[in-house]
Chains A and B, each alone.
Chain A
């Protein structure tokens, strides 16, 4: 096995691992509210979401080959890697991608461990930006695009992240307020039943949209790696097996269910009822679809969180735990630089050893840190059996902040 083949295999493995974490990190975006209100039993909810993600991943024939172009300059417009990086079967480019993916996976696992929903696309982009800066310098990053459309780190990542949760929150608050006004004189038992159906329908739409958007990113990254190493040359299509394994990885991840994050979204942020759940998921679905229709790149996680917050604000007398919301916003702010830092460190590590050893050391570092976080998570496991328990702080945070204590009291 040559160095290039070895690193290619590791890139594909890590990309699938990322896709898998992307799945379980985002189950909650669609299903947390349905699980919290009891509209769906936890296992049924994750199974439904997994199937819809699988279907969604296959629905897209549109190629997402230029996925990295939004933030870094390692590909040209057609999606082919730039020539300077393709020597030695693309070793240089593959090392950047590998380090970037490891940054994304590790950040996803860390935020999952502490039960915070953070954006998987930000983690991926952050990792790749960091690895690119380490490998090519800051000039390798597409900060602002060329000014002809929303592009670059600012246009595709930072601005949407600031704007989309606010939009989703406003929409969900308006929806919640209207629903409670309209159904004020209907018996609660009756409304809870009716809105469960609305909730399941809107949550399903979010899952489907998630599958079409997010699985594509990994497909694009793997195909880029195959092109760089000379195993694929068509920049207009993704190999079928890539599509298949990516769809399976994200669906499997979704089915596993990121229970820690589902719990935070469904129980931690807002004490949610069926009408609120439906308003939140409808807002998410509408904002995600309208954005992808208008080419406004956004993170499903930011939208879903904004919507759930909005549904708490819009309900007369509803309560929102702002302490948790603040921690989430903090996690969002540091996702990009933190994943970037890990990506950069991994690139340096890989570059230091070089040859066969470099990528292997990076991969071993990934396995070691991932195992450590898994073991830590088992100290305070969250599973379908306790996901809906009374809220008492995010997992892994034994000391609650005064703000949260106050909000709970």
Chain B
């Protein structure tokens, strides 16, 4: 029982950490993208009327959406790797696919 509690706490805070970075961080980046896109579009997209379109906003939005897409790709890789009995390792910081440790 106490062993299990120990393992559960250990796993739980990691899940929470990853969850916050990817599960809340990526939506926030997406929101920045939407914000930038609105800034880039101008006019009726903004709450403040008569705001002018800012082209740089569109570029910024594109960058944000790319970051989000990369996050989705990472999620897909984890699903696919798990299906093949492998795991995604982060020991080199950038993700690599390795055999599942026994």
Residues of A within 8 A of B (CB): 56, 59-62, 144-145, 147-152, 154-155, 159-160, 163-164, 167-168, 170-172, 174-175, 178-179, 182-183, 185-187, 189-191, 194-195, 198, 201-202, 205, 208-209, 212, 275, 278-279, 282-287, 289-296
Which secondary structure dominates chain B's binding surface? helix
User: Which residues from B are CB-within-8-Å of A152?
Assistant: 4
User: Which residues from A are CB-within-8-Å of B3?
Assistant: 144-145, 147-148
User: Which residues from A are CB-within-8-Å of B47?
Assistant: 185-187
A401 to B41, alpha carbons, bound, how many Å? 48
CB–CB B4/A190 < 8 A: no
User: Which residues from A are CB-within-8-Å of B41?
Assistant: 190
**B70 on the interface (CB 8 Å rule)?**
no
CB–CB B85/A59 < 8 A: no
User: Given A187-B44, A194-B37, A282-B27, are A144 and B19 neighbors across the interface (CB < 8 Å)?
Assistant: no
User: Given A171-B16, A171-B23, A285-B23, are A278 and B30 neighbors across the interface (CB < 8 Å)?
Assistant: yes
**B60 on the interface (CB 8 Å rule)?**
no
One digit per residue, 1 when the CB lies within 8 angstroms of any chain A CB and 0 when it does not, for chain B 42-53 equals 001111100000
Which secondary structure dominates chain A's binding surface? helix
CB–CB B7/A182 < 8 A: no
A145–chain B nearest beta-carbon distance, Å: 7
Count of A-B residue pairs with CB < 8 Å: 176
For B, the interface residue count at a CB cutoff of 8 angstroms equals 47
CB–CB B46/A183 < 8 A: no
A337 to B14, alpha carbons, bound, how many Å? 30
User: Given A60-B83, A61-B85, A290-B14, are A149 and B7 neighbors across the interface (CB < 8 Å)?
Assistant: yes
CB–CB B83/A212 < 8 A: yes
A183 to B24, alpha carbons, bound, how many Å? 15
B13–chain A nearest beta-carbon distance, Å: 9
Candidates B5, B8, B34, B72; contact of A183 at CB < 8 Å? B34
A147 (CB) vs chain B CBs: closest residue: B3
Nearest first, the 5 A-B pairs at minimum CB distance are A286-B23, A175-B24, A155-B4, A290-B18, A59-B83
User: Which residues from A are CB-within-8-Å of B87?
Assistant: 293
